[in-house]
Chains A and B, each alone.
Chain A
Amino acid sequence: MLNRWVTSRIEPHVISDPILTNFDEQRLIQLTRDGDYDAFNRLVVEYQSAVFAVVLRTVRNHAAAEDITQDTFISAFRKIASYRGGIFRAWLFRIAKNASLDYLRKMSRRSETSIDEDIVYFSETVKDDSADPFADALNAELARLIDHCLGGLSEDHRFAMVMIDVQGYQYDAAAESIGVSIGTVKSRLNRARARMRDCVQEEPELLPASMRL
């Protein structure tokens, strides 16, 4: 089945605390500064899924997301000396975000983005436990519509929406990841939501009743 929807999701916006304690994390960072690959790779294991998810939803291309994620960790290892405290995950996200934006700009110049291919990846990640085939099909179309609208957002707005509405991060973490103030993140998210709303309204037949104006 292409789509796996769930009727409900338990605490969808709560990101589980890292297994590593802050003390462990700082110790691993210090070891990484000394060139310890094993220490850094423990951090990689801790954050690779989160980084990959954000990158995938930003660039909307699986292969590119893998490359960017790998490059993110390589770059993080090389530039670990420039990490000066704060949320380590946010620092990683910032590197990933910059790499993602670089990729998107390259693609926009080359006009090589393949939306159709990417939509599949996004749609597959929408889950639902419904056993209704009709609902599945409708939800699949909705997922494609949402993916299309998300792809139509500007890079900054999309990243804010992915970080907060999709990944469920708090504003402060998102702001530190993006490198802007919390107020800016809120404003971007507000505009992103408004544009998403306008976009999905273009095909009202796909929307649930609660989303129709």
Chain B
Amino acid sequence: MVLRILNRFIDRTDSSSVWAVNAYVEGSASDDEVKLVEEMMRRDPALGKDLSTQRALRDVLSRIENVEAPRSFAVTPEMVAAAERSESGLSRLAELFAPQRKLAMAPAVIAVIAAVGVALLTIGDITGTVDQTGGGRDDSSSSASFAESAATSGGGAAAESAPSMEMAVVTEKASAGATAAPAATAMAAVAPLAPDDSAITLESAAGGGIDEPASLAAPEPEMALMEEEPEIVGDGDSEDDSARSKSGEQLEVDGPESDDADTTLEFGTGGAIDEDPITSAGAGTGDGSFAGAADGAASSAAAGAGEGALAGAAGGAGEGAGKGISLPLWQLQIALAALAVAAIGAWAGLRRVRGE
């Protein structure tokens, strides 16, 4: 069965009877092939007429007159020189990537594999299973560090940091911790530096005690400071606002440098939110990216920089005790470089396959 499918895939049939039929039609069948075809015709009477038709058709085709060259196709040095001049750089590139025509699709296959690899790395980073900690990491560069929330025990005071892409995970865990311990939950959200339409919605599944929303405006420059507490935007009622900040269900954070950036954080708490200041810092840049940090009771610092689809890979810096897989940054860089090269080769190869 597999062989049959494979043969069909490569445009072959696995039956020797087909070859016998060919030979029969061509009049070159051996005795065994003739017997085989005759046996087939006994089983399928229509086959005899079918093969007669094919024989007649072949006879007609064979009577097509030979074609003579209408002119000389002799090659001159000028022709060769002109061909070399007219050969585009793309053609040379295609031949470089795929010297043989049958291998022209190889770069495309490599590109797909590389893309899948990068995607898996990125997804792994997003889901928090991959810790990208590059050697010689520079917080101002693109290394990312992911630390799981430690707000898991009463009064938990583990410092946390989280890059932007892990915000949901961290928040969820922080919320869970808050359910268990009153002093545990704090959260911070950081508005993007300059996004236009960035919006974040984080929801946690912690139970009860959610009463009413609270809005939190967090001026971005201040948010970058560790100790700065975001300004709570409310209706002027300090008590109400304070209450909202404690058990708030919804926090809206507006970045000062963005006109309509709207970061909405939703989480529920067990009604036991500590009044410790929300200490967090984060910065995010990039289209549609976000950055944020959530911490337990003590402090957190995180800076994340998201860059589109590869935000988790390329952006974010932070510190913290991380678990999970450690992935040096250089591996990701190599993967990205391979992806770029393969993509170029794929493009050239595909054009070659298409005859361009």
Contact = CB atoms under 8 A, between A and B. Distances in A.
A74 B54 contact: no
A40 B58 contact: no
Contacts of A196: 54, 57
B11 A156 contact: yes
A186 B22 CA distance: 7
Given A74-B79, A103-B355, A128-B63, A45 B70 contact: no
B19 interface: yes
Contacts of A213: 46, 49-50, 53
Contact of A40 (B21, B56, B57, B75): B75
A62 to B, nearest CB: 8
B31 interface: no
Nearest to A7: B63
Interface centre among B7, B57, B74, B354 (most CB of A within 10 A): B57
Given A75-B83, A210-B56, A211-B56, A49 B67 contact: yes
Contacts of B53: 197, 200-201, 210-213
B62 A165 contact: yes
A127 B63 contact: yes
Interface string A3-32: 011100100110000000000000000000
A142 B70 CA distance: 25
Contacts of B56: 207-208, 210-211
Given A197-B57, A213-B49, A78 B70 contact: no
A98 B101 contact: yes
A53 B67 contact: yes
Contacts of A105: 354-355
A9 B59 CA distance: 10
B67 A52 contact: yes
Secondary structure at the B interface, as helix, strand, loop or mixed, is helix
Interface residues of A, number: 70
A79 to B, nearest CB: 10
A123 to B, nearest CB: 10
A183 B12 contact: yes
Nearest to A102: B355
A166 B61 contact: yes
Given A146-B60, A197-B53, A101 B355 contact: yes
B58 A165 contact: yes
Contacts of B84: 78
B57 A168 contact: no
Interface string B144-162: 0000000000000000000
Contacts of A109: 354
Interface string A178-213: 010101101111110110110011000001101111
B64 interface: yes
Contacts of A103: 355
Nearest to A150: B61
8 contacts: A48-B73, A62-B70, A105-B354, A126-B65, A166-B61, A166-B64, A210-B52, A210-B56
